[in-house]
Chains A and B, each alone.
Chain A
Amino acid sequence: MLWYTGKRLLQMIPVFFGATLLIYFMVFSLPGDPIAALYGDRPPAPGVIEQIRAQYNLDKPFIVQYFIYIGNFFQGDLGTTYSGRPVSDVMAKAFPITARLALLALAIEAFFGILVGLIAGLRKGKFFDASALVVSLLLISVPTFVIGFVLQYVFAVKLGWARTTVSSEAPFNELLLPALVLASVSFAYIVRLTRASVSDNLNADFVRTATAKGLSRRRVVGVHVLRNSLVPVVTFLGVDLGSLMVGAIVTEGIFNINGVGGTVYKAIKLGEGPTVVSFIAVMVVIFVLANLLVDLLYAALDPRIRYAK
């Protein structure tokens, strides 16, 4: 197990270089001159743009830009945004908020998704199952901006139970509403996944055996059915963590959260290579660690899965 974990951590190195190179290249390939666009409809004097381009090394070939970035990276310098702020400062502000939001959303979707999916799977074809289906369909078909708008309007503007937007400290109670919105689509996935696995496993022999052995239904369902149903759900949650962090652009916009999704989106639109790459480099590490954690959880959930060597 230790060897396996160590091997996986070592694999982070090629993934880091592969992802940063690919993403830096993509930002480089974005159409248009990012510096000229900074000035909007009012272009500065002709010499100004050239000077600023040189300041950000944009006048150099792609591969040179990349190695300058990587070289600085290993000296702890992540470059600056086009407004002159160190990228490390931007990251230090965005990541803690996003981490709280994503983990909260993950907890919400995992808890309610598994609970609803479990009950739906146990009562397949019954009223609860049908209701869960309708809710899932609704969450799939209605885009996030609508769900966000409606929840914000009802709970914050009308009822006043929550703050309309999240303040700069972003405490957990203010993040609850955005986390609900963020969790909504994934919730549908988890309900469907859990329901399918549970209903399959209910028919499995080990459940019949366990029931025959006289175990209570609660124990049969809680220990045997649920545990065996969790492998795909846990995999999904592991993959979803990344989407919740980078993909929260719409939710962050609705609740004015200064997080990773919005920052990366803005940096992409501005063509800010160092910002995009630095954020994604951290995200890659998070992906790899989350996936590693999931793989280790497999072994706990399903004794058949063993990592030889």
Chain B
Amino acid sequence: MPNKNPNAQTHYVAALEETPVETVDRLDESQKARSTWADAWDAMRVRPSFWISSALIFLIVIVALFPSLFAHVSPTSCDLGDSHGAPSDGHPLGYTRQGCDIYARIIFGTQASLTVGLLATILVTFTGIIVGALAGYYGGMLDSIVSRIGDIFFAVPTVLGAIVLMSVLPERTPVTIALVLSLFAWPQIARIMRGAVLSARNSDYVTASIALGVSKFKILLRHVVPNSIAPVIVIATVSLGTFIVAEATLSFLGIGLPPNVMSWGNDIDAAKSSLRTNPQVLLYPAAALSVTVLAFLMLGDVVRDALDPEARARR
């Protein structure tokens, strides 16, 4: 039978290149585990895009943590007299419809937006990976139960779930927003992960590992997950941006962050009515969002390549 199995064979080959056969036979777990991540690190650090994206993310995080270092104007002192005002000294991007400084609002909005985007992405990705991996790998009853629970959660309209939960929660913070968003989004990543695991679990290297007497769970952790994670990383990095935008939708529905918490989402939503006459009010927060998503997309690409043994082996 012609080998149509990309991951399996090449992984096997790659492992051979890196690890003496005896080591595989002995199954020195500590060494193997170390090598996956060490290899990944070696692969990443030679890529310029890794350093560019990391620097960008570092900068964004610093802005989020210490906004007052970057903006000296208060983002909440707004005067209608300045509505849609042009850029001027100390106000490089001009003013919003309410007469607030656009630049200051973007800087001070970083924290909430990044928290929502990152936290929701992390929650969704981890839940999705765990659930999807277990469902795809063990199959049978477990798959049925977990997948159908996912179907039920996915069927709940986010608007409905968000209104109910937000009305129950005593406070609205970026953390609660992230929790609500992730509660109804994890089934998507779980499905993707499950699909990828289904491909990987019948691979030759899995069969080989089973023959070598490695426990099923260890095979899952060591071989199946790293070989299935690529599409999840792609989805996760794109989702980061859509979560930040989704926060705007929640604000629009009145179940987002309170109006005194600044966020890009709040600003993008507020810019809606200025769209015809003053589109710049919308473009600046959208640009901040783009840069953030770009940084994470680039990093995601590098990490994905690094975790993918074939791409790594080629370099």
Contact = CB atoms under 8 A, between A and B. Distances in A.
- A adjacent to B, CB under 8 Å: yes
Interface of A: 7, 11, 14-15, 18-19, 22-23, 26-27, 29-31, 133, 136-138, 140-143, 145-146, 149, 185, 188-189, 192-193, 196-197, 199-201, 203-207, 209, 224, 228, 231-232, 234-236, 238-239, 242, 246-247, 249, 264-265, 268, 276, 280, 283-284, 287-288, 291, 294, 298, 302-306
Contacts of B289: 140-141
Contact of A304 (B159, B160, B202, B287): B202
Nearest to A140: B241
Given A143-B268, A239-B187, A305-B202, A18 B161 contact: no
B6 A298 contact: no
A197 B195 CA distance: 13
Contact of A231 (B157, B196, B304): B196
B245 A204 contact: no
B26 interface: no
A18 B151 CA distance: 10
B72 interface: no
B282 A203 contact: no
Nearest to B187: A239
B235 A284 contact: no
Given A29-B164, A137-B293, A205 B9 contact: yes
B278 interface: no
Interface stretch (B51-59, B94-102, B306-314): B306-314
A284 B197 CA distance: 24
6 contacts: A18-B152, A140-B245, A141-B287, A205-B10, A246-B157, A291-B147
A156 B11 CA distance: 53
A143 B5 CA distance: 40
Given A137-B294, A206-B4, A280-B157, A196 B231 contact: yes
Given A141-B289, A284-B152, A276 B6 contact: no
A142 B290 CA distance: 9
Contacts of A298: 195, 198-199
Interface in B132-168: 144, 147-149, 151-152, 154-161, 163-164, 167-168
B315 to A, nearest CB: 10
A189 B235 contact: yes
A23 B160 contact: yes
B286 A141 contact: yes
Contacts of B84: none
A264 B241 CA distance: 26
B164 A30 contact: yes
Contacts of A236: 188, 192, 235
A240 B52 CA distance: 32
Interface string B219-237: 0000000000011011101
Interface residues of B, number: 67
B290 A138 contact: yes
B160 A291 contact: no
Contacts of A206: 3-6, 9
Contact of A284 (B155, B163, B248, B286): B155
B152 A19 contact: yes
Given A140-B290, A268-B163, A15 B311 contact: no
Contacts of A189: 234-235, 238
A23 B156 contact: yes
Contacts of B188: 236, 239
Contact of A201 (B3, B6, B158, B275): B6
Contact of B198 (A14, A141, A228, A305): A305
B3 A268 contact: no
A304 B304 CA distance: 23
B180 interface: no
Given A136-B238, A200-B310, A298-B195, 13 more contacts: A143-B269, A146-B282, A189-B234, A193-B234, A196-B230, A203-B310, A205-B10, A231-B199, A242-B155, A291-B147, A302-B199, A304-B4, A304-B5
Contacts of A265: 157, 159
